[in-house]
């Protein structure tokens, strides 16, 4: 098959590194640099795709989005497919029949083509690898090559998982293979949300998922006390993170059986500074616990009592993160909600060789396996 080349660049995300210890070394592949072609659009109108993740329809019929891991899935018959994009900030993987065939690096406004396929029915999936909270990407649809046809969109999967978190959930810098990735493309060129632990687990379960992750954000405190007055909850309800007051309109079809929450690394991984709202860690812990309970109340009201809410923690500086989240779960269980659970993940094999000591591709595979084991203990009726 043949694809066509284009490369561009954008500023790095604000780092959201956690202070964690290193283990065994493992190599991780950097993203390939793929190509796109500019050519007249064939007469076949685009149609027939479904979205995975939060998107918003634009006035011209395209869809806009900002969260990582947004995916578009379609079916077509013929020898090729065009992908209509308008995004100079993010990177994408193009997958045909389940195999990644190219990486589109900040493609801009273009139609990217995959050609020279067997003349048959194929699946196509476009997935957003990177984070760019302040610039919305736009997708215009799939187009079949001349003589082919875009088919009806694939059906939604019955299993649904929502992931809520920070840079670990987003797959920040996971493809780097070195903690200092400034010399090998930076954070964006080395991030792949589609190979983060949540996406890996969802695919193993054949589940649709949302990857609602924002690097550097915490439940009440952002990394190193940055951007005071905001936190993850400021943005959670939005489809477009860069639009103040935007509200995602939840479709009735989105009823996840499981929500996995990973917020606290940024709250607790760095010491408090003078002038922050909390004079001591005990005050931060109290504020964090109160906000977390409120957030769980919100999720419970949105998704009902049948959804499992998984409160996760992992090693950071000190024990406050793990101990506080565990206490929150005990409190919820004592109140009678037995579908709130605690998942602590760590493994001696984690090497933290992603950018800025983040989990590597290998680490995400390990963490996904640990999540698989936890989910297997839940009485999921799916």
Q: Which residues are catalytic?
A: 167
User: Are 175 and 28 contacting, i.e. CB atoms less than 8 angstroms apart?
Assistant: yes
- Which class for 36: exposed (0-12), middle (13-18), buried (19 or more C-beta within 10 A)? buried
Q: Distance between CA 79 and CA 206 in Å, rounded?
A: 27
- Give Dmax (Cα) for the chain: 68
Strand pairing report for 258-262 and 308-313: parallel
Helices (H) and strands (E) in the chain, counts: 8, 17
Asked if residue 133 lies in contact with residue 11, where contact means CB atoms within 8 angstroms, the answer is: no
Alpha-carbon distance of 251 to 69, in angstroms, equals 18
C-alpha atoms less than 13 angstroms from C-alpha of 198 in its C-beta half-sphere:
32
Can you tell me the distance from the alpha carbon of 128 to that of 124, in angstroms, rounded to the nearest whole number?
14
Cα angle 87, 88, 92 (rounded to 5 degrees) comes to 60
DSSP string, 150-209: E-PPPPPPSEEEEEEESHHHHTTTTT-SSS--TTTTHHHHT--GGGSHHHHHHHHTTEEE
């Amino acid at each position: 098959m043949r694809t066509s080349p284009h490369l561009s660049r954008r500023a790095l995300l604000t780092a959201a590194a956690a202070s964690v210890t290193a283990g065994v070394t493992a190599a991780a592949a950097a993203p390939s640099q793929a190509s796109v072609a500019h050519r007249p659009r064939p007469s076949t109108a685009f149609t027939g795709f479904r979205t995975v993740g939060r998107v918003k329809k634009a006035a011209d019929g395209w869809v806009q989005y900002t969260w990582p891991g947004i995916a578009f899935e379609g079916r077509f018959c013929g020898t090729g497919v065009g992908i209509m994009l308008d995004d100079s900030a993010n990177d994408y993987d193009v997958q045909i029949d389940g195999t990644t065939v190219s990486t589109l690096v900040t493609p801009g406004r273009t139609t990217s083509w995959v050609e020279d396929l067997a003349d048959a029915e194929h699946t196509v999936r476009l997935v957003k690898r990177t984070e760019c909270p302040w610039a919305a990407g736009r997708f215009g649809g799939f187009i079949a090559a001349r003589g082919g046809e875009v088919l009806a969109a694939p059906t939604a999967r019955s299993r649904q998982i929502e992931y809520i978190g920070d840079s670990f959930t987003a797959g920040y810098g996971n493809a780097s293979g070195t903690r200092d990735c400034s010399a090998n493309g930076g954070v964006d060129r080395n991030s792949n949300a589609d190979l983060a632990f949540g996406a890996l687990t969802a695919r193993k379960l054949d589940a649709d998922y949302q990857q609602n992750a924002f690097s550097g954000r915490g439940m009440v405190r952002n990394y190193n006390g940055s951007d005071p007055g905001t936190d993850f909850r400021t943005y959670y309800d939005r489809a477009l993170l860069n639009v103040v007051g935007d509200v995602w309109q939840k479709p009735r079809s989105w009823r996840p059986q499981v929500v996995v929450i990973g917020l606290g690394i940024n709250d607790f991984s760095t010491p408090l500074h003078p002038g922050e709202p909390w004079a001591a860690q005990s005050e931060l812990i109290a504020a964090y616990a109160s906000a977390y309970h409120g957030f769980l109340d919100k999720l419970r009201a949105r998704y009902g009592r049948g959804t499992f809410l998984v409160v996760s923690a992992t090693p950071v500086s000190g024990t406050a993160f793990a101990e506080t989240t565990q206490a929150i779960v005990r409190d919820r269980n004592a109140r009678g909600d037995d579908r709130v659970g605690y998942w602590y993940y760590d493994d001696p094999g984690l090497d933290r060789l992603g950018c800025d000591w983040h989990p590597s591709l290998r680490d995400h595979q390990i963490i996904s396996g640990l999540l698989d084991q936890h989910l297997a203990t839940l009485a999921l009726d799916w």
